[in-house]
Amino acid sequence: MNSSLRNKYFLITYAMLLTLAADQITKFWVTATFRLEESMAVVPKFFSITLKHNPGAAFGMFRGKPLYFFLVISVIAIAFILYFVIKVNPRHRRLATALAMILGGALGNISDRLLSGAVVDFLDVRFYGTVWPTFNVADMAIVVGVLIFMWEMIRRDPFGLDQPAEPDAETAATQSDDPIEGAPAKAPAPQRWVPAR
């Protein structure tokens, strides 16, 4: 594995673990501090922390569906993301980061379902009387990741699969300035010694 691929997988792993850690730490704090349905206003009439258990999908969608439905959907989504994690060009760091955020958010919510059968939500936003469904850090990471993903899809070739990756240091050191790509550097011709007359 060359250095560009190592850097790609390091970036994706780091961003995924950071997202997962932020999600799980905040959920642990909320469940240890609040009782179910207990609420605390942070910005009155706009933002509160309200502990809720969401048996549905993100933002309360698909309520009433059985647990295995969400587990199957989550596994399919994770497999889909992992496929493109492997395919993404190492140069496209924003796209790799977006996929890592989506993957970390998906893992955060699926771990809740496996442990308790429901997702822990606690971010409660209200705007001019409109109450937004309660959500969590994993939901935010998924939404932001999807937005970056869509932006990258619009502004460049999908995933940059047709774009060559930048050569690593070892490969670049062996390449020459010869017009023929990849041709080895030509050694200078040895000078002949001519005796003086």
Closest CA to 92 of 13, 17, 164, 18: 164
Q: What integer pLDDT is reported at residue 54 of this predicted model?
A: 83
Instruction: Name residue 100's amino acid.
Output: A
Is 139 one of the catalytic residues?
Answer: yes
Do 120 and 31 contact (CB within 8 A), yes or no?
Answer: yes
Q: What integer pLDDT is reported at residue 27 of this predicted model?
A: 97
Instruction: Name residue 35's amino acid.
Output: R
Question: What parts of the chain have a pLDDT lower than 70?
Answer: 1, 56-67, 156-197
Q: What integer pLDDT is reported at residue 129 of this predicted model?
A: 76
- How many CA atoms lie less than 13 Å away from 44 in the CB half-sphere? 0
Catalytic residue among 139, 157, 162, 168: 139
Is 121 one of the catalytic residues?
Answer: yes
49: phi > 0 → left, psi -120 to 50 → alpha, else beta; which?
A: beta
Catalytic residue among 23, 112, 121, 124: 121
Do 160 and 93 contact (CB within 8 A), yes or no?
Answer: no
Dihedrals phi, psi of 175, to nearest 5 degrees: -85, 155
Integer angstrom CA distances of residue 144 from 11, 85, 128, 148, 163: 17, 17, 24, 6, 25
Domain boundaries, the chain: 3-37+54-119+136-164
Q: Which two tokens stand for residue 176?
A: 């020459």
Q: What integer pLDDT is reported at residue 114 of this predicted model?
A: 87
